[in-house]
Chain A
Amino acid sequence: EPEVTQTPSHQVTQMGQEVILRCVPISNHLYFYWYRQILGQKVEFLVSFYNNEISEKSEIFDDQFSVERPDGSNFTLKIRSTKLEDSAMYFCASSQPGLRNTFGSGTRLTVV
C-alpha cells in the first residue's frame, strides 16, 4: 500500500533556529496537510495545500510557518524561528478529494 514518508523521524533544534520538515505524499494525491500533536494532546490541523497554494490554515499557522512543494514529490513545512512550544510531533498527510487522509509516521521535533 502506498505510504506517506516523513523525514527526519526525530529532530532536535535550538530555540530560534529554523527547521524544515520534509514529506513525500502519495504520488496521485492532490491534497496535502500538516498536523501537529503536542505530547499527550490531540492532533491539531495546521495547514492544507491544494493546487500549489494554501487552501486553509489554522490560527496556529502564523507567520513563523510556511509550506512549500518545491518539486513534484516533496512537501515541506518550515518553522523560521523555533520556540520551545513548537516541540511536538508533526504529521504530514495526503488525500484524494473526499477520501481518507493517509498519514506519515511523523517527525518528533524537540526544541531546546
Chain B
Amino acid sequence: SQQGEEDPQALSIQEGENATMNCSYKTSINNLQWYRQNSGRGLVHLILIRSNEREKHSGRLRVTLDTSKKSSSLLITASRAADTASYFCATDDRGAQKLVFGQGTRLTINP
C-alpha cells in the first residue's frame, strides 16, 4: 500500500450516525493530519496529531494514532449532511516538511 492510504474509499451513512475512516502509512512520521475537501473546493485542515499522541478530540471529531501499526482513524460523531465531503489523511514523510496525502474517503451523509 502507498503512504497515507485511506479506507474505505467511499462511505455512505444516515444523518446522525457515526462515520469512521481509517488511514495507513508506511514511513516514520512526526505528525499526521486530517483534511476535508468539499467537491472541487479547497482543503480544510481538521486536526493534527503528533507521533507521541494516541488520541485527540476536536468538537465532533476524534482522531486516534497507532504508530506501532502505522495507522490512524478519524471518527465523526452525530454526522450531519454538511459533513458530506472527501476526507484525506496526510503525513509528513519521515519528518520532512512536505505532506504526503492518501487517496481519500468520499463520505456521503444521507438526510
**B88 an interface residue at 8 Å Cβ cutoff?**
yes
Chain B residues near A50 (CB, 8 Å)? 97
Can you list the 9 inter-chain pairs with the closest CB atoms, starting with the nearest?
A: A105-B42, A43-B101, A103-B43, A45-B98, A100-B48, A42-B103, A42-B101, A106-B42, A31-B97
Residues of B in contact with A (beta carbons under 8 Å apart): 30-31, 33, 35, 40-45, 48, 88, 90, 96-104
Do A102 and B103 contact each other (CB < 8 Å), given the known contacts A43-B88, A56-B96?
Answer: no
Contact B101 A91 (CB under 8 A): no
CB–CB A101/B33 < 8 A? yes
In the complex, residue of chain B having the shortest beta-carbon distance to the beta carbon of A32 = B97
Closest residue on chain A to residue B42 by CB atoms = A105
Report yes or no: B45 in contact with A98, Cβ–Cβ below 8 A.
no
> What number of A residues sit within 8 Å (CB to CB) of B?
27
Is B33 in contact with A100, judged by CB distance below 8 angstroms? yes
List 5 additional contacts besides A41-B103, A100-B31, A103-B42; criterion CB under 8 Å: A35-B99, A43-B90, A97-B97, A100-B45, A105-B41
The 13 listed contacts between A and B (C-beta, < 8 Å) are A33-B97, A42-B101, A42-B102, A42-B103, A42-B104, A45-B100, A55-B97, A98-B31, A101-B99, A103-B42, A103-B43, A104-B42, A108-B40
- The answer to whether B98 touches A48, judged by C-beta atoms less than 8 angstroms apart, is yes
State the CA gap A89–B40 with chains docked (Å). 8
Interface residue? A68 (CB, 8 A)? no
Closest to A39 in B: B40
Closest to B99 in A: A101
Q: Are A43 and B43 in contact (CB under 8 A)?
A: yes
Residue in A closest to B46 when the chains form the complex, CB atoms: A100
Return chain B residues, CB-CB under 8 Å to A100.
31, 33, 45, 48
